[in-house]
């Protein structure tokens, strides 16, 4: 055989391989890792995903050890985290985010999840998981500055498979402390972040909160002082007075002490972590490349323009994967809330034929019937019974799903005898599953107040009322607390939750 012939056969073989590869669907890039506390989706390889999952579990174990949470206490719900390669990938989930943002955390009714750029978004993820963790395991009131200060304190952790080191500074925050006028300590102690209006002061809220927290956490004696301060404010003592009594320092003296602490030697604390971590990794279907992040975008508030674009994209991407479960779910969601409702229900019906216990499809079908019941009062009883039928199936598939429990509880609101013991138990289970969700705290607070259990209602509402970012959810919680205490306030409406974001350093 001559050289030309051999080259010709080789070229034909190469062309055949190229044609075959083009005809074969691309293998999905998305992997899913599941651990005791997290479900992590990533476009990277299996090894870095396993390492990242291990890192997060070490971080969770440290938080449990440091703040007294039982090591074997299970979580009500694993936190989904989406790791993306580039900042612009974040905009697939949240359009218009801006090119300085490295990640965000969103506690919404349809999902509670985080998205972060691998590497750049590490601080964001650790900061937001700290908030998620504290809401999950503590219902005690903490002042806004300490909520943010603790998250800032632990987010700079350096993590290895067998140990963790905390106490390091964040260069961006340190720069603000050294080069800017500080937020006055009186403002820090008496206001949530959302209440700080003066822009230079807003910019140093996080740095000063971190510095004060770091100073307290740097010695056992000052940890005792911090606990004394918390005890005083929980007794109703003015925050400034409580700080002065607990530390024995005036605010002017405390400011000088903090400046000395900032320029002194920063102490780092290392904790050994003995943890046998099981990480289960699976590969998602090819449809995930087109639809996974888009499905998360549909769960967030959008402008009318973005809604129209998301609907068009959902239709186009779903058409690439006919009868694929993820495609049917995303298409059904988009059509139900933004497009042709009948087409949305048809997609969910087809999905339920394939997967009769698909929880999200069951929840969406229940929500559709609940919406119908609000518009058709004469048919309310039948429609609500149909909604509960979907929810009973969803509950059987996963008794701990927070959205199923929330919808069951809401479907009972206004019924004769509401709230009875079963209603209160449902609200309690929803709260245990997702205490991060303002709608659950507000709904449960309403129910327990209606049942005459003022103490439980206030305990549920106080952390929300004092959330650092405030917002109308916090105002609604404060209104209920005032109502329980007999204080008259003007009405305030509940708003959609806002995603917490952080810029890349």
Q: Is residue 242 part of a domain?
A: yes
Q: What is the pLDDT of residues 276-298, one digit of tens each?
A: 989 999 999 999 999 999 999 99
Verify that 96 and 37 share a domain, yes or no: yes
Say if residue 6's pLDDT is above 60: no
Poorest-confidence range of 64-68, 181-185, 470-474?
470-474
Verify that 42 and 104 share a domain, yes or no: yes
Half-sphere exposure of 126 toward its Cβ, with a 13 Å CA cutoff?
A: 27
Domain count along the chain: 3
Q: Quick one: pLDDT band at residue 505, thresholds 50, 70, 90?
A: very low
Please, are residues 71 and 61 in contact by the beta-carbon 8 Å criterion? yes
Pairing label, strands 101-107, 79-84? unpaired
Q: Is residue 314 part of a domain?
A: no
CA distance 345 to 401: 22
The residues that bridge with 82 in the sheet, in sequence order, are 41, 115
Verify that 134 and 182 share a domain, yes or no: no
pLDDT at residue 33 in the model? 98
Say if residue 7's pLDDT is above 70: no
Counting every residue written for the chain, the total comes to 505
User: Domain boundary residue among 251, 267, 283?
Assistant: 267
Task: Give the structural domain span for 122.
Answer: 28-139
Q: Is residue 32 part of a domain?
A: yes
Mean pLDDT of 444-449: 97
Half-sphere exposure of 8 toward its Cβ, with a 13 Å CA cutoff?
A: 5
pLDDT at residue 490 in the model? 54
User: Domain boundary residue among 233, 267, 301?
Assistant: 267
Using a pLDDT cut of 70, give the percent of the chain over it: 91
Verify that 119 and 195 share a domain, yes or no: no
pLDDT at residue 289 in the model? 96
Q: Quick one: pLDDT band at residue 488, thresholds 50, 70, 90?
A: low
Per-residue three-class SS string for 121-148? CHHHHHHHHHHHHHHHHCCCCCCHHHHH
pLDDT at residue 501 in the model? 62
Verify that 112 and 49 share a domain, yes or no: yes
Verify that 130 and 191 share a domain, yes or no: no
With H, G, I as helix, E, B as strand and everything else as coil, classify residue 164. Answer: strand
pLDDT at residue 141 in the model? 77
Round the average pLDDT of the chain to a whole number and report it.
90
Q: Is residue 14 part of a domain?
A: no
CA 365, 438, 485, 448 dihedral sign is positive
Q: Is residue 306 part of a domain?
A: no
Pick the closest to residue 254 from 236, 241, 237 (CA basis). 241
User: Domain boundary residue among 267, 291, 312?
Assistant: 267
Q: Is residue 319 part of a domain?
A: no
Verify that 134 and 207 share a domain, yes or no: no
Pick the closest to residue 357 from 324, 399, 319 (CA basis). 399
pLDDT at residue 13 in the model? 42
Q: Quick one: pLDDT band at residue 200, thresholds 50, 70, 90?
A: confident
Q: What is the pLDDT of residues 283-342, one digit of tens each?
A: 999 999 999 999 999 999 999 999 999 999 999 999 999 999 999 999 999 999 999 999
Q: What is the pLDDT of residues 234-257, one digit of tens each?
A: 999 999 999 999 999 999 999 999
Q: Is residue 204 part of a domain?
A: yes
Mean pLDDT of 132-154: 91
Q: What is the pLDDT of residues 391-401, one digit of tens each?
A: 999 999 999 99
Mean pLDDT of 420-427: 98
CATH number of domain containing 452: 1.25.40
Verify that 77 and 121 share a domain, yes or no: yes
Verify that 132 and 179 share a domain, yes or no: no
Verify that 134 and 175 share a domain, yes or no: no
CA distance 39 to 19: 37
Mean pLDDT of 142-162: 94
CATH number of domain containing 36: 3.40.30
Pick the closest to residue 487 from 479, 496, 495 (CA basis). 479
Say if residue 156's pLDDT is above 50: yes
Say if residue 499's pLDDT is above 80: no
Verify that 174 and 123 share a domain, yes or no: no
Q: Is residue 49 part of a domain?
A: yes
Verify that 39 and 121 share a domain, yes or no: yes
List phi, psi (to 5°) of 317: -70, -40
């Amino acid at each position: 055989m001559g050289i030309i012939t051999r080259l010709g056969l080789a070229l034909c073989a190469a062309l055949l391989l190229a044609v075959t590869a083009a005809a074969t669907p691309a293998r999905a890039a998305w992997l899913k890792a599941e651990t005791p506390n997290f479900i992590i989706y990533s476009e990277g390889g299996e090894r870095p995903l396993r390492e990242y999952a291990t890192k997060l579990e070490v971080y969770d174990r440290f938080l449990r050890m440091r703040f007294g949470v039982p090591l074997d206490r299970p979580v009500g719900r694993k936190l989904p985290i989406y790791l993306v390669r580039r900042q612009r990938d974040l905009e697939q989930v949240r359009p218009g985010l801006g090119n300085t943002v490295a990640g965000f955390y969103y506690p919404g009714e349809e999902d509670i999840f985080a998205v972060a750029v691998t590497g750049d978004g590490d601080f964001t993820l650790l900061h937001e998981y700290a908030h998620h963790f504290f809401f999950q395991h503590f219902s005690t009131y903490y002042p806004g500055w300490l909520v943010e200060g603790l998250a800032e304190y632990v987010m700079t952790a350096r993590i290895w498979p067998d140990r963790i080191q905390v106490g390091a500074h964040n260069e961006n925050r340190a720069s603000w402390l050294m080069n800017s006028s500080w937020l006055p300590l009186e403002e820090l102690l008496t206001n949530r972040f959302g209440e700080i209006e003066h822009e230079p002061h807003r910019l140093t809220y996080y740095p000063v909160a971190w510095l004060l927290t770091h100073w307290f956490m740097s010695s056992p004696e000052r940890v005792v002082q911090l606990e004394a301060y918390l005890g005083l404010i929980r007794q109703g003592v003015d925050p400034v007075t409580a700080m002065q009594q607990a530390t024995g320092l005036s605010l002017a003296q405390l400011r000088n002490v903090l400046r000395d602490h900032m320029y002194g030697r920063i102490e780092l604390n290392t904790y050994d972590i003995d943890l046998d971590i099981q990480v289960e990794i699976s590969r998602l279907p090819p449809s995930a490349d087109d639809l996974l992040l888009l499905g998360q975008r549909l769960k967030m508030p959008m402008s009318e323009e973005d809604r129209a674009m998301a609907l068009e994209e959902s239709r186009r991407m779903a058409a690439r994967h006919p009868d694929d479960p993820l495609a049917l779910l995303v298409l059904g969601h988009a059509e139900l809330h933004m497009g042709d409702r009948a087409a949305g229900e048809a997609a969910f019906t087809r999905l339920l034929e394939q997967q009769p216990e698909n929880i999200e499809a069951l929840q969406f079908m229940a929500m559709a019937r609940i919406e119908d019941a609000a518009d058709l009062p004469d048919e309310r009883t039948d429609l609500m019974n149909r909604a509960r039928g979907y929810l009973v199936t969803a509950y059987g598939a996963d008794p701990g799903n927070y959205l199923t429990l929330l919808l069951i509880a809401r479907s009972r609101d206004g019924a004769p005898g509401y709230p009875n013991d079963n209603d209160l138990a449902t609200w309690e289970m929803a709260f245990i599953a997702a205490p991060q969700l303002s709608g659950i705290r507000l709904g449960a607070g309403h129910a327990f107040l209606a049942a005459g259990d003022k103490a439980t209602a206030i305990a549920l509402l106080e952390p929300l009322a004092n959330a650092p970012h405030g917002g109308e959810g916090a105002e609604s919680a404060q209104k209920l607390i005032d109502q329980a205490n007999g204080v008259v306030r003007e009405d305030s409406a509940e708003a959609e939750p806002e995603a917490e974001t952080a810029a890349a350093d």
